[in-house]
Structure 1
Amino acid sequence: MPTELDGIPLRLLGFVLGLGVCWALLPVLIRLSPRLGLVDRPNSRKVHQQLIPAIGGLTIGLALLAVSVLYTPMQVLAGQQPVLILASLVLMVTGVIDDRLNLPALVRLCIQLGCALAVTHYGIRLTSLHGLFGIQTLPLLVQYGLTMLILTGMANAFNLIDGIDGLAGSLALLNTLVLSGLAWFLHQPGWLALLCPLAGALLAFLKFNWRPARLFMGDGGSVVLGFLMVSIGMALMEGAYGQANAYAPQALCLITACCMLPVIDALRVFGSRMMRGNSPFAADRNHMHHWLLKHRFAHSEITLRLLSVHSLVVILSPVALYFLSISTVFIGQIGVTIGYTALIQLSHSFLQSYRLVKKLESN
């Protein structure tokens, strides 16, 4: 529990600076994006019908970097933060190049694994499961392997859920605010100094990304955000654990809750593709948001529905931990998310059957 307010006015300044810098950069980069070739082109998998600038992630990254360098004291940005910032920059540049040139999946994966290894080597790694399924401290080799799997998995899962206006940005903003509260609670000013400008930049991005979207996040944003959020979450959790803090299990619960929706959706889609004999990386229109689009929900309605179930899992998880074991809460997180996914799928199947019956009746 913090003994001081960790400079709340200073953190609010960081939020405002992140908001202002990103807001100022966005119109400029929107105009430049066609000349840079950073546009998302419509195709059979996309829901938009015209060229849309895909520079949201680049703008968020530039704003965060500028604010971090100019506003955050160097003694606060120390230790693991510079390594994570550098790894995030590498992923952002890779994502921007991929948006421009469509890099092979293996190349992207190798770069992501390299960034995950660097971050893991410099201390941002899962050293304990804090009693989850009875597991405490992990062997060093397992720490490296599990951390790299989680980092690359969440980066790609968050990229996959970035399919409609406002969804990825809204989930990222909520997760960033949750992590900011956790960083304040655990008295981690270094991570708070990164999270506050990030929250401001995400809010500015959402102003331009809400339906009808004037820009998209692009791989240079969604991959980085997934990687960054879970890295900071691990660092906060391990910081609490290193201080023999009793709140490490609560931190783990919050972090798994923040990851649950994109990860469950990605695993379900991968499984569905493989069951049909396709590559798990073969793109399709089988995500939760695609189902809801087929139900003729607006983009904003879909975003609010998915954000609601995500918020429910995030809010209830730490509360439930006071009454249930961490393993039970984790299984409950999975159950609620899968249950909501199944409900969407059943309603989608029912709608298809209803339309077929109506079509047969009309003939």
Structure 2
Amino acid sequence: MIESAYLLVPFLISLVLTPLVKQYSIPAQTYAKENHRTVHHGKISRIGGVAIYLSFMISMAIYMKADRAITGIILGGSIMFFTGLVDDLIDIKPPVKLFFEVVAALVLIYYGVQVDRIRLPFGLTIDFGLISFLFTIIWIAGITNAVNLIDGLDGLSGGMSVIILVVIGCIALIERRPDIVSLAFILAGSTFGFLIYNSHPASIFMGDCGSLFLGSMISAISIVGFKSSTILTLALPILLLIIPIIDTLSAILRRTLKGMKFSQADKSHLHHLLMKQFGHRNTVIIMCGFTALFGLSAYVYMINRNLGFFTMLALLFFVELFIEKSAMISEKFHPLLGLWHRIKRVWTKKIKNKGEDK
């Protein structure tokens, strides 16, 4: 089947290109810097995203004939790739990266890629109308940064991205969207070839050129892929990206409560907290596993909407419990556990009063 070629060809190209990028990193001295937040040791290349980008572009040239929307996606993704590459080479400030994220979003809007509406469960629809431009910019920048923020452990950002892209591609097959199938599978194959070298212990990192490119591409593909869908539209990408989205929002709240700048990095991300308890490799497996479960719940939703919806709620419930138990946002943030303790106290008091009445 042609769909398998979309995965296999970019995978093989990436498998060959990644070692070449590693070799180039020696004379170019493009190594990840060690500091108090890093978990690696030694000189490891941080421009692995070059292999992902080149594999994707070569495969797209082989298989795809770009229409207006796909041209916009490629241009927007390329802007983020080169922004990330410059950051990997000389380090640029967060406001500069945000500026180019907005530029990439404006390019997508110019080519007709924007969020018009969101269809929610139970037939609810949100029509954005005039604010669709603003929401599209927030969506592109938000998802791009979310994928970038989870790139903290070997294989984490790449592994989660592959799962997300494969799920999007599979649902696009059901929705009969061959353009999205090819885009998602080609990018998944390109990332998976790199992931062979990036899995723990990694011999190369994707860097900002990889994570910003993947984030912008996933956000753009999700807009085009589910713009006219009758199933979930953007609710599906939100579901698949719920882990990095929650991690990003938690980081914003945590740093705000501590009086820190949002751009000021820390070691309280979800993957850092999990790693303290489960170790490096198991943390990646757990987070990728949860992403896969959210993807599976989307399929369940397509078969049985009520069952799928409650499956999603159950997964979100467990994620929320972990956030509260780990004090990921704040030691004082525990709405569910606090509610449970209050109910428990009231219940215990009632039982005690009944015993005294007797």
Deviates more, 1:327-336 or 1:34-43: 327-336
Which of 279, 286, 297 pairs up with 1:298? Answer: 279
Rate the CA distance shift 1:188–1:27 in 2: closer, same or farther, 3 A.
Answer: same
Matched, 1:272 2:263: no
Q: Match of 1:33?
A: 25
- SS of the equivalent of 1:129 reads strand
Distance 1:73 1:90 in 2: 20
Query: Structure 1: which 5+ runs fail to align?
Result: 1-8, 241-245, 350-363
Query: How far 1:301 sits from its partner (Å)?
Result: 0.4
Distance 1:144 1:204 in 2: 35
Q: Look up the equivalent residue of 2:324 and give its one-letter code.
A: A
Q: Look up the equivalent residue of 2:41 and give its one-letter code.
A: Q
Alignment of 1:1-363 (within 5 A): 9-69=1-61, 71-74=62-65, 77-131=66-120, 134-139=124-129, 141-240=130-229, 246-247=230-231, 249=232, 251-295=233-277, 297-320=278-301, 322-324=304-306, 334-345=316-327
* Seq. identity, %: 24
Query: How far 1:136 sits from its partner (Å)?
Result: 3.1
Q: TM-score, normalised by structure 1?
A: 0.84
1:123-144 deviation per Cα after TM superposition (whole angstroms, max 9, x unaligned)? 22211122469443221x3111
Query: Structure 2: which 5+ runs fail to align?
Result: 332-358
Cα pair 2:49 2:209 within 8 Å, conserved: yes
Distance 2:235 2:311 in 1: 8
1:87-139 deviation per Cα after TM superposition (whole angstroms, max 9, x unaligned)? 11111011011011111111111111010111123222211122469443221
- SS of the equivalent of 1:80 reads helix
Rate the CA distance shift 1:109–1:216 in 2: closer, same or farther, 3 A.
Answer: same
Q: Match of 1:3?
A: none
Q: Look up the equivalent residue of 2:21 and give its one-letter code.
A: L
Greater C-alpha radius of gyration: 2
Deviates more, 1:141-150 or 1:118-127: 118-127
Q: Look up the equivalent residue of 2:168 and give its one-letter code.
A: L
Deviates more, 1:215-224 or 1:314-323: 314-323
Q: Look up the equivalent residue of 1:168 and give its one-letter code.
A: S
Rate the CA distance shift 1:18–1:236 in 2: closer, same or farther, 3 A.
Answer: same
Query: How far 1:231 sits from its partner (Å)?
Result: 1.2
Report the RMSD for the aligned CA atoms in angstroms.
2.4
Query: How far 1:191 sits from its partner (Å)?
Result: 2.1
1:202-246 deviation per Cα after TM superposition (whole angstroms, max 9, x unaligned)? 221111011110001100011111111121111111133xxxxx3
Distance 2:296 2:185 in 1: 20
Query: How far 1:65 sits from its partner (Å)?
Result: 0.3
Distance 1:299 1:325 in 2: 33
- SS of the equivalent of 1:40 reads coil
Distance 2:311 2:46 in 1: 37
